[in-house]
Chains A and B, each alone.
Chain A
Amino acid sequence: EVQLVESGGGLVQPGGSLRLSCAASGFTLSDYYMDWVRQAPGKGLEWVGRTRDKAKSYATEYAASVNGRFTISRDDSKNSLNLQLNSLKTEDTAVYYCARDEYGGFTYWGQGTLVTVSS
């Protein structure tokens, strides 16, 4: 059974940093494109970024709103995906989801982890 479990969310001050993780089970993470999607409280979904699969050298793309501040990486030994969030702003407050990207859509989603940026 495919499962994605995010962790690492919490309260952080503006300008601070946080590292989110997404533990995958039931499949080999390196074989798939993986994305991060966020949802601010009471708002819609916003695409954050993507890491392509091992065959595509794990190339990454990011939304303009986070480019240069957020970094996606993988840990193949742990079958996990990471999202490093730097220079955080209050508008980055959201639930962050990891999702498996295939067949033109996000087929599996984690339950999400809440990041709150506030002083």
Chain B
Amino acid sequence: QSALTQPASVSGSPGQSITISCTGTSSDVVNYNSVSWYQQHPGKAPKLMISEVSNRPSGVSNRFSGSKSGNTASLTISGLQAEDEADYYCSSYTTSSTRVFGGGTKLTVL
């Protein structure tokens, strides 16, 4: 199972919006809504930000939103804040009953 494809890095200024893409295949993203997104700060455990494509867990800011179209899922962060600077990972369920992660995207807040 190959990793999902994410851009290595994205950046934006405070207050702006950014979108991180996550591209998969018919073996994962296309056929499942079990796509989730995680935020990870250095030295910390990952934190669930979005589950099932677009569901935001309790306590996660509504500045974070998720969507999916075809083989690509997306995470959008609006009103960018300094604390959003972190690594972001997408994940999907697969036809092999396994899970696969994306390679990760480093978000820099300028």
Contacts and interface: CB of A to CB of B under 8 A. Distances in A.
Q: Is the interface of A mostly helix, strand, loop or mixed?
A: strand
B70 to A, nearest CB: 18
A61 interface: yes
Interface size class of B (residues with CB under 8 A): 20 to 34
Nearest to A63: B98
Contacts of A107: 48, 51, 57
A22 to B, nearest CB: 12
Interface size class of A (residues with CB under 8 A): 20 to 34
Contacts of A26: none
Interface stretch (B19-27, B31-39, B77-85): B31-39
A105 B104 contact: no
Question: Which of A35, A44, A103, A111 has its CB near the most chain B CB atoms (within 10 A)?
Answer: A44
A63 B1 contact: yes
A106 B48 contact: yes
20 contacts: A35-B99, A37-B46, A44-B89, A44-B103, A44-B104, A45-B40, A45-B101, A50-B98, A50-B99, A61-B96, A97-B45, A103-B52, A103-B55, A104-B34, A105-B50, A105-B52, A105-B57, A106-B36, A106-B91, A111-B45
Interface of B: 1, 3, 33-36, 38, 40, 45-48, 50-53, 55, 57, 87, 89, 91, 93, 96-104
